[in-house]
């Protein structure tokens, strides 16, 4: 199946790209904070709260990318007659759950 997941036809707009980069930078900061907490032998409960926050933030980034994928790549592929893209989109949604 030839799909934009392998070759993006429509680049993300500048605003979306910046929002994704900002969120990912925050997540990396949170991950560094968790590493420091582990290094400092901090209370397990506090670390787990931060792990949950990172998981939630990362899932949010995934949903942003999924939305962009659906609005661009999936729409383009359907317009070109490639209905197999729907199966790929469903698989991607299952992986994000």
Structural domains for the chain: 14-96 (1.20.58.1000)
Q: What is the pLDDT of residue 4?
A: 52
pLDDT tens, residue by residue, 40-88: 999 999 999 999 999 999 999 999 999 999 998 999 999 999 999 999 9
- Nearest residue to 18 (alpha-carbon basis) of 53, 74, 64: 64
pTM listed for this prediction: 0.79
Q: What is the pLDDT of residue 3?
A: 47
Q: What is the pLDDT of residue 43?
A: 98
CA dihedral for 81, 82, 83, 85, sign (positive or negative)? negative
CA–CA gap between residue 91 and residue 57 (Å, rounded): 21
CA–CA gap between residue 81 and residue 78 (Å, rounded): 5
**Residue pointed to by tokens 């590493």:** 35
Q: What is the pLDDT of residue 8?
A: 55
The CA-atom distances, in angstroms, between 59 and each of 30, 83, 90 are 14, 26, 16
13 has pLDDT over 90: no
């Amino acid at each position: 199946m030839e799909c934009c997941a392998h070759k993006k036809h429509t680049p993300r707009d500048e605003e979306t790209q910046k929002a994704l980069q900002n969120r990912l930078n925050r997540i990396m900061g949170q991950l560094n904070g968790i590493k420091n907490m582990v290094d400092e032998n901090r209370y397990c409960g506090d670390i787990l709260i931060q792990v949950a926050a990172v998981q939630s933030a990362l899932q949010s980034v995934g949903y942003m990318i999924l939305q962009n994928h659906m609005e661009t790549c999936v729409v383009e592929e359907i317009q070109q007659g490639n209905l197999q893209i729907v199966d790929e989109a469903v698989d991607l949604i299952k992986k994000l759950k």
